[in-house]
Structure 1
Amino acid sequence: MRGTSLRLVAHGHTAALRRARFGGADDGLDEGGLRAALAQAGAGADRSWHLGAYDACLSSPAVAARQTADAFGLLPTIETALADCDYGGWSGRSLEEVAESQPQALHDWLSAPDRAPHGGESVVDVRDRVGGWLDARHRTGGRVVAVTHPLVIRVAVVHALGLPVATYRQVDVEPLAVVRLTSQGARWHLRLGG
């Protein structure tokens, strides 16, 4: 079996991310997010993955993910499995707005990963979608860079390590974070640094 090296890159800051709003696919990087992405691309200690030392470069369909890939000099193929959570009727609304108008629904969604009372996806749904994609990458092998969303990376780590879905809350992924998963066989390994 061919080994797999997967770099998951969280897109840069967006206005929705900074304001704790449930994002949408059309939310691009804000000015600070773009500057930070360009700075990180130019200052990385290991720039080989920016410069083409990979077999595939993928991106969420979201504008912010594509802009982050562009800032890093990557030419990604769109991968719908890497899309952010579908927040349904909550898209574009702040956490406070939803808490005020639908407190029980928000509580349920935050406390039970299988709940999606807002008309979108549950975290379990996102984990299943992303987990299926990860499992396929594992079988395919190769070196892949994928630009996506913090939540997608959180559930990818949980799936890769075989953790209960609810532990996604304990995985923090900052904008522009790079998480590396590798495998030489039956299981994924989380690799820190480089």
Structure 2
Amino acid sequence: MRQARFPVDEPLSRRPEALAGPARLDGFSRGPELRCAQTAEALGWDAAVDEALADLDHGSWRGRSLAEVDQNELLAWMTDPDAAPHGGEPVSAVLKRVADWLDRQGDVGRLGVVTSPAVARAAILAALAAPAAAFWRVDIAPLTVTQLTGSPGRWTVRETGLPLG
């Protein structure tokens, strides 16, 4: 993300030697991307891959900068949650996918998850029952912690933006 390009499946730009994650976790999951695997490894987590935690699919825009994509298409994508001019996944689909994932969590205890900013945004919107239009209004910095508490249908955003490690 340092180069302001849509993600492909790039490695971390800086591989941390070790990170300290939240203490006392009962399980670990991660998105399928290489950067998620590397972050989980740096945390010392043997995290199970969960496709529901995959980053938003940017389709034909993968690897391209904002300046390299059609600006009218970009505007449509950022203002219409159902738009997918890149041929990938619309924002509304990632919102539904993550909300469904949260609904399936049941009694999992304290679960540590490594995923993308898009999935963290979607989880926050699901917890707040916020509209899809709020997706771009949540800023998730790399290597930060977002913590949700509760259970399906009753999620609360406890904190977000806490530096990891």
TM-score normalised per structure 1: 0.77
Residue 116 of structure 1 corresponds to which residue in structure 2? 84
> Offset of 1:107 from its aligned partner?
1.1
Quick one: distance in 1 between partners of 2:37 and 2:150? 26
* Contact 2:103–2:153 under 8 Å retained in 1: no
The structure with the largest alpha-carbon Rg is: 1
Looking at structure 2, the residues matched to 186 and 57 of structure 1 have their Cα atoms a distance apart, in angstroms, of 21
Measure the CA separation in 2 of the matches of 1:185 and 1:62.
Answer: 26
Corresponding letter in the other structure for 2:78: L
Match of 1:87 among 51, 58, 63: 58
> Shift of the alpha carbon at 1:140?
3.4
Aligned-residue CA RMSD in angstroms? 1.8
The match for 1:97 among 58, 62, 68 is 68
SS at match of 2:74: helix
Residues 157-190 of structure 1: per-residue CA shift (max 9 Å, x gap): 0011100011111111100110110116751111
Checking the alignment, whether the CA contact within 8 Å between 1:58 and 1:77 is kept in structure 2 is yes
Would you say the 8 A contact 1:113–1:122 is kept in 2?
yes
- In 1, Cα distance between the equivalents of 2:152 and 2:74? 40
Looking at structure 2, the residues matched to 185 and 77 of structure 1 have their Cα atoms a distance apart, in angstroms, of: 21
User: Number of residues paired by the alignment?
Assistant: 161
Number of the residue aligned with 1:28: 11
Whichever structure has more helix as a proportion of its residues is: 1
Equivalents in 2 of 1:136, 1:111: separation in Å? 29
Q: 1:20 to 1:173 in 2, by over 3 A?
A: same
Task: Give the match for residue 71 of structure 1.
Answer: 42
1:186 to 1:84, Cα distance in 2 relative to 1, 3 A: closer
Question: CA shift at 1:106, angstroms?
Answer: 1.0
CA distance in structure 2 between the aligned counterparts of 1:78 and 1:130, rounded to whole angstroms: 14
2:107 pairs with one of 133, 140, 147: 140
Q: Secondary structure at the match of 1:163?
A: coil
1:159-174 matched pairs, under 5 angstroms: 159-174=126-141
Determine if the alignment matches structure 1 residue 19 to structure 2 residue 3.
yes
Bigger relative CO (Cα 8 Å, ≥ 6 apart): 1
Structure 1 segments (4+ residues) deviating >6 Å? none
